[in-house]
Amino acid sequence: MNHDNEARLIPIISEQTRTTLLEELGLDKPWATVLAEKRDVPGVAVPKLTEEVIDTVASYTPRFVQRVYDGLAEVYTYPTGEIDHYRIDSATQGMAIILRAYHLDTGNQLYYNLSTLRDEDVDSVSGTIKTNMVSIRSGKGDTVLQRVLSRPGIPEQHAGLNTLLNRAAEYASPPYQPLAREGGTAMFKVLSGLWPKITPANPAS
C-alpha cells in the first residue's frame, strides 16, 4: 500500500501528544499488561472524550459534524432502512481520537481551523468517509490476504496514531474492536485531504 502522498500532506503527531492522549483516555497500559498484572480494568475515558470532542467541533462547525454523520449513516444503514447507531458511535470514537490528537498537535487550533473551510470542502467529508469506510471493511482481491493487504490504513510512519487506535481497539468489546480503528482511519483520510486548506500557513514538514 502506497501512502507517500498522505504522509507528505499531514504531519506526524509528536510523542508528547501521543503520551498525553493515552493518559487522557486511560489507555496508557497495553491490555495484555493489564491482564498480566491482574489489575482492575482502568476507567477508559474514550466515550466521554468522544462526546466532548464532537460537541466542541460542532460548536465551531456543525456542518462538519453533520457531514461526518451523513457519511457514517450511509455505511451503517441496513437494507431495511434501519441505522446501526451503536456502530456509528463506535466508529466515531476512533474519529474523535484522531481529531483530538491533531487538535493537541496544532496548539489547540484544529477545531477552529475546521470552521474556516469552504462549504464545498466540508461537504466532501461525507463522501470521503463513505468511500474509505467501505474500502477499509472490504478490501479488494480474490483471496483473504489480497483483501487484507489492499485495505487502506494509516501509514506506518504515523506510529503514534496507530498506537492510539490499536490501544482503543484492545479495550473495546470483541465484536466492535475494529470499528474505532476503521473510523479513525477514515478521519485520517479526511484530514489528509483537507490539511493544506485547514492549516495553509503551517505546511507539513
CB atoms < 10 A from the CB of 196, how many?
Answer: 13
Query: Could you tell me the residue range of the domain that residue 169 belongs to?
Result: 4-198
The answer to whether position 205 is within a domain reads no
The answer to whether position 204 is within a domain reads no
**8 A C-beta contact, residue 73 and residue 125:** no
The answer to whether position 134 is within a domain reads yes
The answer to whether position 184 is within a domain reads yes
The answer to whether position 203 is within a domain reads no
Q: Looking at the DSSP assignment, which residues form a beta bridge with residue 77? A: 83
Q: How many domains does the chain contain in total?
A: 1
The answer to whether position 31 is within a domain reads yes
At 8-19, the pLDDT tens digits run: 579 999 999 999
Q: Looking at the DSSP assignment, which residues form a beta bridge with residue 83? A: 77
Residue that has been written with the C-alpha cell 498484572 in this structure: 37
pTM for the model: 0.85
Angle at which helices 62-75 and 119-138 cross, to 10°: 30
At 87-97, the pLDDT tens digits run: 999 999 999 99
At 144-171, the pLDDT tens digits run: 555 544 556 788 899 999 999 988 888 7
CB atoms < 10 A from the CB of 65, how many?
Answer: 21
The answer to whether position 95 is within a domain reads yes
